[in-house]
Structure 1
Amino acid sequence: MRYRTIGTDPATRREVSVLSLGAMLFGTATDEATSYAILDRYVEAGGTFIDTSDNYAFWQNGGQGGESEELLGRWRRSRGVGDEIVIATKLGARPLAPGTSYVDNPEGLSAKVIRESAERSRERLGMDRLHLLYAHIEDRTVPLEETVTAFAELVAEGTVGLLGASNHRAWRVERARVLAAAAGLPGYEVLQYHHSYLQRRFDLPSELDPDGDLGAVGPDLASYLRAEPQLTLVAYSPLIRGGYTRADRLGPAYDLPSTLGRLAALREVAAETGATVNQVVLAWLMGGDVPAIPLVGASSVAQLDESLAAVDLELTAEQRDRLDQSR
C-alpha cells in the first residue's frame, strides 16, 4: 500500500492509503458477513481510509439511512479498530422522514443539524472523534456563515478532525473557505466528487442539480484544484458502476465523441501492462496532474482485490500522455 497526507494542520491532518474503501451498501445490499470480509481484507492490505455517510443507504429500504455507519461501528468494536483506520462520514443529505429523500426533504446544514447529526454519527460509529466530516450536499436555505461556524465549533471541541465538502459548486467551496480563513476557523480541506477517466457531459439535469453541473469534477473544479494543491480530491464512483466493462451502464452522461477513443486507449494500455481496464483507470486517477484518492466500492473480496492491485500499477509517461490525448 502507498499513503499520502490529507489536511495541513498538524493537530488534525492524517496519513491515509491512496485507495479509499466505500461502505455505502454495507449493512443493506451487502450483508454483514460479506461486509466484514471486505473490510478485513482492505485493512490486511494496508488500507486505512473508509468512507460512509449518515444517509447510507436509505434508498435500499425506504428508510433514512444509518445502516452503513452502524455496521462499521459493529465491525470496529469486533476487531478492536481504533484511530489507526481513518473513517470519513457525511451529513446534510439524510432524509428527515422515511419514504422521502435528500431531493425533497434533506436534513440540511443548519447549526442544529450539524451538531445533532454529527453526534448521532459518532454514536453509530462508536467514535469519540470523527476523523473527517463532509458537508454532503449544498444547503442554500442556511447562511453559509452558519454552516462554516457550526463545523468549526465541532473541530474546536475535538469531536471532529478534518472537514470536507461533497457535491458543492467550486465557488461555494471557495466562499466557505474564505469565510473560515477570515474568521480564523478551520475550513474544508478534502473535496469528494465523482471523477473518472472518461469525459462526461455537464448539460444534463440530475437529482442534485437541474442545471447538470453539480456533483462531478468539471473544468471549473479541476482548475480550482490545480490552483489549490493543498486540497485533497477523493473521487467517488471512479469505475462508473461497472461502466468500463459494461458499456451499457455508462448512460447518456458519457455519450460524447471522445468516449470510444478513450476506451480504446484504456484497452491498449491494459494489454501492455497486463492490468485490467479498471486498474488502469484507478492508476490514472492516483497519478494524475490533480492526484485523486479513488473511492472504490466492492460487493466481494475479489472485486476489492482487483482495485487493490492498481496501487502498484505504474503507468509510463508515454502511456499517460496517450491516455490524456485520446479523443
Structure 2
Amino acid sequence: MKYRTIGADPKTRRRVSVLALGAMLFGSRTDEKTSFAVLDRYVEAGGNFIDTSDNYAFWTDDGQGGQSEELLGRWRRSRGVGDEIVIATKLGARPLAPGTSYVDNAEGLSAKAIREAAEGSRERLGVDRLDLLYAHIEDHTVPLRETVEGFAELVAEGTVGLLGVSNHAVWRVERARALAAAAGLPGYEVLQYQHSHLRPRTDIPEEIFPDGSLGGTTAELLSYLRAEPGLTLVAYSPLLKGAYARQDVPLPRDFDHPGTPARLAVLREVARETGASVNQVVLAWQIGGDLPVIPLAGASSVAQLEENLAAVELELTAEQRARLDAVH
C-alpha cells in the first residue's frame, strides 16, 4: 500500500492509504458477512481510510440511514480496531424522518444540526472522535458563518479532527474557508466530489442533483485544487458504478457528450498496453497524478476489492499519462 498525508495541522492531520474504501452499502445491500470480509481484506492489504455517512443508506429501506456507520461500529468492536483506521463520515443530508429524503427534508448544516449529527455518528461508530467530518450537501437556509463556527466548535472540543466538504459550489467552499481563516478557526481541508477519467457535462446539474448542489468535478474545482496546495480531493464514484467494465451498466447521462468516446478509447488502449483492466487504469491515473487525489471506491465483494487494490501498484508511464490527460 502507498500513503499520503491529509491535513496540515500536526494535531489533526492523518496519513492515509492512497485508495479509500467506500462503505455506503455495508449493512444494507451488502450483508454483514461480506462487508466484514471486504473490510478485513482491505486492512490486511494496508488500507486505512474508510468512508461513510450518517445517511447511508436511507434509500434502501425508506428510512433515515445509519446502517453503514452501525456496521462499521460492530466491525471495529469485533476486530479491536483503534485509531489506526481513519473513518470519515458526513452529515447534513440525513432525512429528518423516514420516508423523506435529503432533497426536501435534510437535517441541514445549522450549528444545532451539526452537533446532534456528529454525536449520532460517534455513537453509531463507537468512537470518541470523528477523524474526518464532511459537510455533505449545501444548506442555503443557514448562514455560512454559523456552519463554519459549528464545525470549529467540535474541533476545539476534540470530538472532530479534520473537516471536509462535499458537493458544494466552489465559491461556497472558498467563502467558508475564508471565513474560517479570518476568524482563526479550522476550515475545510478535504474536498469530496464525484471524479473520474471521463468528464461530465456541466450544463445539467439540476437533473443530477435536484437539490441544486454540484456533484461532479469541474474545471473550476480542479483549478481551485491546484491553487490551494493544502487541499486533498477524495474522488467518489471513480469507476462510475461499474459502467467502465459492465455492458449492462450504462454511463450516467451527464457523460453523454462527444468527448466521451475519445477518452474511453485512450483508456482501453492503455489497459491493453499494461495488461490491466480499464478500472485499474482509472484508479492508477488518479493515484499517481499531479493533483492530490485519493480515489474512493466501494466494493461489494472481496474479488472487486482485489482488482481495485492491484491498481495501487500499477505504474503508468509519462507517455501514457500524457495521452490520458490530452483527450478532451
- Range class of TM-score, shorter chain: over 0.9
Matched letter for residue 201 of structure 1: R
2: CA distance between counterparts of 1:183 and 1:207?
35
Match of 2:313 in 1: 312
In the TM superposition, structure 1's runs of 4+ consecutive aligned residues that sit over 2 Å from their partners are 205-211
Q: CA deviation at 1:202?
A: 1.1
Seen in structure 2, the aligned counterparts of structure 1 residues 236 and 216 have a Cα distance that, compared at 3 Å, is same
Write out aligned runs for 1:213-252 (5 A): 214-246=214-246, 248-252=249-253
Q: CA-to-partner distance for each residue in 1:84-143, whole Å, 9 max, x for gaps? A: 000000000000000000001000000001001100100000000000000000001001
Is contact 2:285-2:316 (8 Å) kept? yes
CA RMSD of aligned residues (A): 1.1
Aligned pairs for 1:120-135 within 5 A = 120-135=120-135
Q: Which residue of 2 aligns with 1:203?
A: 203
State yes or no: 1:176 paired with 2:176: yes
The separation in 2 between residues aligned to 1:97 and 1:175, in whole angstroms, is 31
SS at match of 2:15: strand
> In the alignment, residue 9 of structure 2 is paired with which amino acid?
D
Name the amino acid aligned to 1:5.
T
Give 5+ residue unaligned stretches, structure 2: none
On the 8 A contact 1:103/1:207 being kept in 2, the answer is no
1:22 aligns with 2:12: no
Distance 1:118 1:252 in 2: 34
One-letter code aligned to 2:216: A
SS in 1 for 2:163: strand
2:281 counterpart letter in structure 1: V
Cα distance in 2 between the residues matched to 1:176 and 1:88: 20
**Residue in 1 aligned with 2:118?**
118
Q: How does 1:1-327 map to 2 (within 5 A)?
A: 1-204=1-204, 205-206=206-207, 208-209=209-210, 214-246=214-246, 248-327=249-328
SS at match of 1:193: strand
Indicate the SS of the match to 2:105: coil
- Counterpart of 1:185, as a letter, is L
Offset of residue 206 of structure 1: 2.9
CA shift, 1:208, in A, is 2.7
Normalised by the size of structure 2, how large is the TM-score? Answer: 0.97
Identity %: 75
In 1, the alpha carbon distance for the partners of 2:31 and 2:105 equals 28
Q: Return the letter of the residue paired with 1:35.
A: S
**Aligned counterparts of 1:299 and 1:240: Cα–Cα separation in 2:** 14
Shift of 1:261: 1.3
1:241–1:249 Cα contact (<8 Å) kept: no
Contact 2:103/2:210 (CA < 8 Å) preserved in 1?
no
TM-fit CA distance, 1:326: 2.5
